């Protein structure tokens, strides 16, 4: 039996390590800059791009290369397959350039009429202009529009002439800022860069659309290493683009961590309170046994069922009622009667509550009875015994329940699809705009991001690297959250072991 258990544990560890190995092997290499290769084919055409895969074709006794050729506005696809026996010549031009763009994917070619150093200098200047334009688009105009909408709702209730004057003033400011934005766009869009493609065509690309430019064939090891870490950092802390198939995943990472944090705040106190009542106060009987059986059964209910419960109870019932009493002026547009991070967090709290209760009950049962008897002998009341003796000694077990809850909640997707997660969120649930924490806002999530990019993307080939890198990031987030909880649990355990209680 001992060898059997050891073998089972080894198999489980190998499976976990295998999952990590597959994700790392398919995700991490995408950050490393690949050389740009030019292929002159036997039919007289030329292609240029990055080789991502090489596989054998047994029927033809040859190999095929999967090459990322980019230039989607010309080629209509990011990748193409090339038979090796059709390649007449392969070169790696030193002056070949890779341009990462806001739209249409990467561009591969040769610069014309401008040096690479001048291009980088122009991109730095354009970065400042792009930041100003994005500030107007995402913050200034949005804030003015929201303020005007709020004042218009107040006018509908009071018809105050001062409010109308305020709306007129803000509308004038909005029109002025909009005109300024259009002028900045025209100025920024007027600058172009000429790029010569491998087939001899010359394309005029807007400098505004170019985010990064590289010449990987002329880069050394240390330059590539710096670019590797720069791409990894940008992946975690920039916004997605091109239907989430390119760019970063910062909104999804932010939403995942905030969701788990809110869920933990909600579920842990209720789980501890419920377990303390069931173990310390409730009388043994058929009702208590039924409650415990129900809790154990709830831990095995499919998560989509909790999603339906959250949609029907939290959103339609609770949120709809709150809208009727507090946001009637905004109806029929719902405020709280629609999906948001608050309802998603509460749904996950209900989903993970049985796990926390069961683990907390086990922690309470592990506290020796002599601890309670000793405290009662010293004159402590029942609440003082529970507060100062039982709960502190049971806390490691309770935190074990929280760790399990975090592990399950961080990867859940089905309930979130019904309670507030979206493909793309224009604003973060927590920002610097009062009241700072916007519980009614929709949010992005790493798990849903993986599902959306992997199964709903119109460009599956381009989305494959994003699926593996996002999966790896989700595993790292779960690991980091669990590690923090485990460290806290172990410190508490050592503290009470040394205390001699």
Here the CATH number for the domain that contains residue 424 is 1.10.3720.10
Does residue 210 lie in a domain region? no
pLDDT at 76 over 50: yes
Please indicate, yes or no, if residue 14 is contained in any of the structural domains: no
79 three-class SS: strand
Q: What is the pLDDT of residues 321-365, one digit of tens each?
A: 888 888 877 777 788 888 899 999 999 999 999 999 988 998 888
pLDDT confidence band for 496 (50 / 70 / 90): low
136: in domain: no
| Residue 187 φ/ψ, nearest 5 degrees | -65, -45
Residue 463 counted as domain residue: yes
489 belongs to a structural domain: yes
Q: Is 78:459 a contact under the CB 8 Å cutoff?
A: yes
Whether residue 498 has pLDDT greater than 60: no
- Give me the mean pLDDT over the 85-96 stretch: 89
Q: What pLDDT score was predicted for residue 486?
A: 82
Determine, yes or no, domain membership for 122.
no
In a domain, 213, yes or no: no
| DSSP secondary structure, 320-359, as one string | HHHHHHH-GGGTTS-SSSS--HHHHHHHHHHHHHHHHHHH
Contact of 423 with 389, CB cutoff 8 Å: no
What's the pLDDT score for residue 161?
Answer: 78
Greater confidence (422 vs 331) lies with 422
**Would residue 199 count as lying in a domain?**
no
Least confident of 126-130, 240-244, 263-267: 240-244
Whether 466 contacts 21, CB under 8 Å: no
Whole-number pLDDT of residue 497? 60
Structurally, the chain folds into a number of domains equal to 2
Quick: pLDDT tens for 423-471.
Answer: 888 788 888 777 788 888 899 999 898 888 888 777 777 778 888 899 8
pLDDT per residue as tens digits for the range 201-216: 888 899 998 888 999 9
Does residue 176 surpass a pLDDT of 50? yes
**What is the per-residue DSSP string for 94-123?**
TT-EEEEESSS--EEEEEESS-HHHHHHHH
Tokens read off for 177: 């800022």
* Residue 300: DSSP 8-state: T
Choosing from 95, 111, 127, the residue where a domain stops is 111
* Single pTM value for the model: 0.86
| pLDDT: which is higher, 501 or 229 | 229
Give the tens place of pLDDT for each residue, 358-385.
Answer: 889 988 888 888 888 888 888 888 888 8
Upstream peptide bond of 376 is cis (omega within 30 degrees of 0): no
CA angle 150, 153, 157 (to 5 degrees): 140
Q: Of the residues 86, 111, 136, which one is the last residue of a structural domain? A: 111
For residue 311, what pLDDT band results from cuts at 50, 70 and 90? Answer: very high
Residue 314: pLDDT band with limits 50, 70, 90:
very high
State how far the alpha carbon of 56 is from the alpha carbons of 37, 79, 90, 214, 387, in Å.
20, 17, 19, 31, 67
Question: Among 111, 135, 154, which residue terminates a domain?
Answer: 111
| Boundaries of domain holding 90 | 31-111
Residue 500 has pLDDT above 50, yes or no: no
Across the chain, what does the average pLDDT equal?
86
Contacts of 244 (CB under 8 A, 6+ apart): 423, 424, 449, 452, 453, 457, 463, 466
Has residue 501 got a pLDDT over 50? no
Task: Indicate which CATH number applies to the domain containing 65.
Answer: 2.30.30
């Amino acid at each position: 039996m001992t060898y059997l258990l050891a073998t089972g544990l080894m198999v489980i560890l190998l499976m976990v390590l295998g999952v990590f190995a597959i994700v790392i092997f398919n995700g991490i290499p995408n950050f490393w800059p690949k050389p740009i290769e030019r292929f002159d084919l036997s039919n007289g055409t030329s292609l240029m791009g990055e080789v991502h895969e090489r596989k054998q074709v047994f029927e033809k006794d040859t190999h095929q290369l999967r090459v990322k050729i980019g230039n989607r506005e010309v080629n209509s696809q990011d990748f193409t397959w090339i038979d090796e026996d059709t390649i007449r010549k392969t070169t790696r031009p030193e002056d070949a350039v890779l341009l990462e763009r806001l739209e249409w994917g990467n561009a591969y070619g040769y610069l014309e009429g401008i040096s690479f150093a001048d291009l980088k200098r122009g991109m730095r200047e354009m970065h400042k202009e792009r930041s100003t334009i994005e500030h107007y688009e995402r913050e200034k105009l949005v804030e003015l529009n929201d303020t005007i909408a709020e004042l218009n709702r107040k006018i509908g209730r009071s018809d105050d002439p001062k409010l109308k004057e305020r709306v007129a003033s803000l509308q004038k400011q909005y029109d002025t800022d909009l005109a300024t934005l259009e002028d900045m766009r025209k100025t920024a869009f007027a600058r172009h860069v000429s790029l010569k493609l491998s087939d001899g065509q010359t394309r005029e690309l807007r400098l505004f659309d170019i985010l990064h430019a590289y010449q990987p064939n002329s880069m050394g090891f240390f330059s590539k290493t710096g670019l590797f870490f720069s791409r990894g950092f940008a992946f975690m802390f920039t916004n997605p683009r091109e239907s989430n198939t390119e760019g970063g995943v910062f909104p999804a990472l932010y939403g995942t961590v905030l969701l788990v944090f809110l869920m933990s705040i909600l579920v842990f106190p209720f789980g501890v309170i419920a377990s303390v009542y069931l173990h310390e106060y409730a009388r043994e009987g058929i009702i208590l046994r039924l409650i415990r059986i129900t809790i154990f059964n709830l831990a095995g209910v499919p998560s989509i069922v909790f999603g339906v419960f959250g949609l029907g109870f939290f959103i339609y019932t609770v949120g709809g009622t709150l809208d009727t009493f507090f946001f009637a002026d905004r109806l029929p547009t719902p405020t709280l009667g629609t999906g948001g991070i608050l309802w998603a967090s509460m749904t996950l709290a209900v989903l993970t509550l049985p796990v926390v209760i069961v683990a907390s009950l086990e922690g309470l049962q592990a506290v020796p009875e002599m601890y309670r008897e000793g405290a009662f002998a010293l004159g402590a009341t029942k609440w003082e015994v529970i507060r100062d003796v039982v709960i502190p000694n049971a806390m490691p077990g309770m935190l074990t329940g929280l760790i399990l809850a975090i592990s399950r909640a961080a990867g859940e997707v089905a309930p979130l699809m019904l309670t507030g997660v979206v493909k793309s969120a224009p604003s973060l649930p927590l920002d610097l705009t009062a009241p700072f924490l916007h519980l009614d806002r929709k949010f992005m999530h790493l798990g849903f991001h993986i599902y959306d990019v992997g199964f709903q993307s119109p460009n599956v080939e381009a989305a494959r690297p994003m699926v593996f890198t996002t999966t790896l990031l989700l595993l790292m987030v779960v690991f980091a959250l669990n590690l923090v909880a485990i460290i806290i649990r172990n410190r508490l355990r050592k503290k009470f072991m040394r205390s001699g209680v």
